[in-house]
Amino acid sequence: MSTTDPLLGSTFRERANEQLANAFLRVAVPKATDHAVATLRNRYRDHDYDGLRELGREIRERAVGDLDRYLDELIAAFERNGITVHRAPDAAAAREIIRGICREEGARTVVKVKSMATEEIRLNPALEADGITITETDLGEYVVQLDDDRPSHLIAPIIHKTKAEVRASLSRVAGRELPDDAAELTAFARGELRDAFMDADVGISGANFGVAETGTIVLVTNEGNGRMCTSLPRVHIALMGIERIIPRLEDLAVMLPLIAGAGTGQLITTYVNMISGPRRDAEPDGPERMHVVMLDNGRRSLLGTRYQEALHCIRCGACQNVCPVYRQVGGHAYGWVYGGPIGAVLTPLFRGQKDGGELPQASSLCGSCDDICPVKIPLHHLLLNLRHDRTAAGEVPRHERIAATLWSYAWSSPIGYRLSARLGRLGIGLLGRRPAAPRWTGPLAHWTQGRALPRPARRPWHRRVR
């Protein structure tokens, strides 16, 4: 994995333009995300999915609203279960804690379960610098690692890759041309990963949920790699964002179907691992030692602010699936770890206005993300608030500020609205007389770069209604 931070040195527009030139991505991403959304809708056609979402929202609100209390409860329960708990205020501290554990254990090989938190702290380059061999064990993440690439979707990391590309990557490892058959390619990767599991000194995972009541880490996967990573190596380290807490074990009855349904349309993922400590005396397998690293990295600073609800996110990827911007440009355009609507919210909050402030502009504010989010995060309101913050910070170009002020002034009264609409009609009408589909030029050219300017109706809607 590259050690450079992808956010630095490029703008969203530059990254998006690069992705828009990828014809495969623009077909494959909408196709895959449409499939996930259709499966979800079919699955819950005859059920009260909205009621389930409301229960999920309540659970997340309760957990995040009383975070310190539940964190104390969770940490006490972890320690009762024989788990060593570490607190990491930021990414650097988390990396150092994990490096320290690996050093103490004399670890040379590590296997990893897919974890966005480990991407967030850029763990792999830090461990590699210590001479440790890391193997990503989720199939998609494995291919990402082989290609020195980055995941482009929260739960489908290689949504941007063709089968031919995957085949070429695996063939490189095999040292021969592998057949063009998905089952055979998977079987080959499976064989490679088996060896890595058997040899690993340490297994590293994230945590989909941490149950405060019982001190349990919950992992959901569809490939079984989570179970292998957390039971075969002699040490297990889980990196958990402090907000991924749920109060009670029974809350899983709501959260498990929500995360599976929103992510892939499943009722429940193929594997659900509930890990409550290292191996006990009578148990035949499991790690000898278990550590949990509790990651803050900007999360606590959102408590009590108008962005607190961003902490309710369970990283299911559903908002990416329906976002008209994400579906065209994919995850890499967002520059950091999290793409799509939740990425456009989290990146400026975690990285600051300077690095991620432009991302909330990458939204049509259509609200599809709000409608699908399994825990009802009001994403488009958060995006609007972030736009306000950006304006207040003076980060918006002068011409945009002047245009928005004039627009707001004109549309604040019926007469201003009618006059501006008439002028707009006149202007578009003049452009529309051109033989080709009209396109704007100058500073407004971006609006019509990828689409034709519509011709105005012969009789405006208002007049027809009247």
User: Which residues of this protein are in contact with ligand SF4, per CB under 6 A?
Assistant: 154, 262, 313-319, 342, 373-375, 377, 379
Q: Toward ligand SF4, which CB reaches closer, 113 or 375?
A: 375
Q: What is the 3-state secondary structure (H, E, C) of the chain?
A: CCCCCCCCCCCHHHHHHHHHCCHHHHHHHHHHHHHHHHHHHHHCCCCCHHHHHHHHHHHHHHHHHCHHHHHHHHHHHHHHCCCEEEEECCHHHHHHHHHHHHHHCCCCEEEECCCHHHHHCCHHHHHHHCCCEEEECCHHHHHHHHCCCCCCCCCCCCCCCCHHHHHHHHHHHHCCCCCCCHHHHHHHHHHHHHHHHHHCCEEEECCCEEECCCCEEEEEECCCHHHHHHHCCCEEEEEEECCCEECCHHHHHHHHHHHHHHHHCCCCCCEEEEECCCCCCCCCCCCCEEEEEEECCCCHHHCCCCCHHHHHCCCCCHHHHHCCCHHHHCCHHHCCCCCHHHHHHHHHHHHCHHHHCCHHHCCCCCCHHHHHCCCCCCHHHHHHHHHHHHHHCCCCCHHHHHHHHHHHHHCCCHHHHHHHHHHHHHHHHHHHCCCCCCCCCHHHHHHHCCCCCCCCCCCCHHHHHC
Closest distance between ligand SF4 and the C-beta of residue 341, in Å?
Answer: 6
Closest distance between ligand SF4 and the C-beta of residue 220, in Å?
Answer: 13
Closest distance between ligand SF4 and the C-beta of residue 377, in Å?
Answer: 5
Q: Toward ligand SF4, which CB reaches closer, 67 or 375?
A: 375
Q: Toward ligand SF4, which CB reaches closer, 212 or 311?
A: 311
Q: Toward ligand SF4, which CB reaches closer, 88 or 314?
A: 314
- Distance between terminal CA atoms of the chain? 62
Q: How many angstroms separate the Cα of 20 from the Cα of each of 13, 15, 194, 331, 441?
A: 10, 9, 37, 12, 20
16/71 Cα distance (integer angstroms): 39
238/215 Cα distance (integer angstroms): 13
Closest distance between ligand SF4 and the C-beta of residue 374, in Å?
Answer: 6
Closest distance between ligand SF4 and the C-beta of residue 93, in Å?
Answer: 25
Closest distance between ligand SF4 and the C-beta of residue 329, in Å?
Answer: 17
Closest distance between ligand SF4 and the C-beta of residue 2, in Å?
Answer: 25
Closest distance between ligand SF4 and the C-beta of residue 262, in Å?
Answer: 6
Q: Across-strand partners of 275?
A: 217
Closest distance between ligand SF4 and the C-beta of residue 434, in Å?
Answer: 42
**Cβ atoms of 86 and 97 closer than 8 Å:** yes
Using CB atoms within 10 A of its CB, is residue 398 exposed (0-12), middle (13-18) or buried (19+)? exposed
Closest distance between ligand SF4 and the C-beta of residue 281, in Å?
Answer: 39
Angle between helix 49-65 and 67-80 (nearest 10)? 80
Closest distance between ligand SF4 and the C-beta of residue 317, in Å?
Answer: 5
Q: Toward ligand SF4, which CB reaches closer, 170 or 373?
A: 373
Q: Toward ligand SF4, which CB reaches closer, 262 or 362?
A: 262
328/340 Cα distance (integer angstroms): 10
Q: Toward ligand SF4, which CB reaches closer, 233 or 261?
A: 261
Closest distance between ligand SF4 and the C-beta of residue 315, in Å?
Answer: 5
Q: Toward ligand SF4, which CB reaches closer, 296 or 371?
A: 371
